[in-house]
Homo-oligomer: A and B are copies of this chain.
Amino acid sequence: MKFKLTLLFLFCISAIASAQNTDSLMLRKIYDEALVNGQCYQNLHYLCKNIGQRLSGSANAQKAVDWSKKLMETYGFDRVFLQPVMVTHWERGEKEVGKIINGKTEIPVAIAALGGSVATPKGGLSANIIEVRSLAELKDLGERVIKGKIVFFNRPFDPRFIETGSAYGTAGDQRFAGPAAAAKFGAVGVIVRSLTEALDNYPHTGTTQYDEGGIKIPAAAISTMAANKLSNMLRLKKLPLIKFYFKQSCQSMPDAPSFNVVGEIKGSENPGRFIIVGGHLDSWDLAEGAHDDGTGVMQSVEVLRILKAVGYHPKNSIRAVLYMDEESGGKGGAEYARLAKQNNEDHIAAIETDEGGFTPRGFSFVDASPAFLKGVNQSWKKLFEPYESDRLVAGGGGSDIEHLKDTQPSVKLIGFRPDSQRYFDIHHTPNDVFENVNKRELELGSASMASLIYLIDQYGLNFK
């Protein structure tokens, strides 16, 4: 694209002149503060590069707690405090080894233990391998075929979904529930195709969940390239010739003491009523947890910084909540909800930002009725349109805030919705690093959430 002077110039003038009333002026102030004086990106840089991975229960997670508390204190929020919580503590141990064994040939492949998985025997585990596409197929094959084998779940992402979260949703049962299901039929281990559409050599980790009291078999994610190679080999060769070998030394430890970190700006009219925005401070251990969820926690802190910087005095109390243990067990989110009830805190709305720090598209409202959606769109869509963050739709909130529904029946749960196309390329991989975050995309997200909080604080969410 080359330079086109006239048209663009005219366009700019009209874009800047669009602020028409108090609300639109306040949104413009919020966006200007985020884009001109934003500190979110440099804070994320510190979190990623000076602290790095923050696996729940780890020493690094504690460093992140200490630093983010200090950060919010330097911003002079009215109150910054920790909520003690016992969290999941699982350790990966030594780097995993995975190999396809084809007779005398051994082909190394990229794998990563699933979070919560047990270890293999010390010398590793080798067995015949059976490829399945679904839990239903596993059940059809049954114990006769599965027993003694390593089950290879290889259903790819469905590329037809426009939002990649939906592809994750329909492929994810393989990782989440596959190992427990395979164990029931006598499998000795599980390999799961990485949950991504990207064709590359990164394994994508993530939790798996064993049945309470059930047999636990070791489970690992395998990169999509390696999964394709393995699948092709299985198709070409007779099954008994191909074996799979993997070795991992991960283990679950007793729950460990940790904290949610909370910053607060006190409400001038209703200090006991809360609007909160948050993400999770823990991350997977393979990289820096940049998009998952460094961006979310740094955006949440930034939302409060922005509101303070533009001189906004909220009627209700506003909180940034940095939850611990989202990836491994969700105990931070549960504890926040428990304490909210115990302390008689009345929550108006909870926003979660945990889908990456990409260009914002809008917000999704949990259990939104058609009347609610109509109301919120009629009232606020126009205000968000100049910022291209105006998709106000029904949808999910997030796993940290969903616990609030149990203790705060009237709370409105809201998901921040950034562009989803790149998220699962880097999600839970060694590639989730600061360099893959764009400064402006991150800042626009903070501004959109600060704007929504301003509007909720002013007008509430009683759209009927």
Contacts and interface: CB of A to CB of B under 8 A. Distances in A.
A23 interface: no
Contact of A396 (B4, B173, B361): B4
A443 to B, nearest CB: 8
Given A2-B326, A4-B396, A427-B1, A159 B206 contact: no
- Name the residue among A176, A387, A419 with the largest chain B CB count within 10 angstroms: A419
A103 interface: no
A396 B354 contact: no
A396 B176 CA distance: 47
Given A1-B293, A32-B160, A197-B440, A8 B388 contact: no
Contacts of A53: none
A438 to B, nearest CB: 5
Interface string A352-389: 00111001010000000000000000000000001110
Interface string A2-43: 111101110110011000000000000001100110000000
Interface stretch (A136-144, A164-172, A304-312): A164-172
A7 to B, nearest CB: 5
Given A206-B2, A421-B359, A444-B421, A15 B162 contact: yes
A396 B3 contact: no
Contacts of A423: 1
Interface in A115-169: 159-166, 168-169
Looking at chain A, what size class is its interface with the partner chain? 35 or more
A228 interface: no
Nearest to A10: B169
Interface in A172-190: 172-173, 175-177
A399 interface: yes
Contacts of A16: 160
A292 interface: yes
A172 B399 contact: no
Contacts of A36: 159-160
A330 to B, nearest CB: 8
Given A162-B388, A388-B391, A421 B396 contact: no
Contact of A5 (B159, B176, B441, B444): B176
- Name the residue among A5, A293, A398 with the largest chain B CB count within 10 angstroms: A5
Nearest to A442: B421
Contacts of A359: 359, 419, 421
B159 A440 contact: yes
Nearest to A386: B162
B8 A396 contact: yes
A2 B176 CA distance: 9
A440 B399 contact: no
Contact of A160 (B4, B35, B166, B197): B35
A337 to B, nearest CB: 16
21 contacts: A1-B292, A1-B326, A3-B168, A3-B172, A4-B169, A4-B399, A8-B165, A8-B172, A9-B170, A11-B166, A12-B161, A12-B169, A16-B160, A31-B160, A35-B159, A35-B160, A36-B160, A162-B387, A359-B421, A361-B388, A422-B441
Nearest to A291: B1
A207 interface: yes
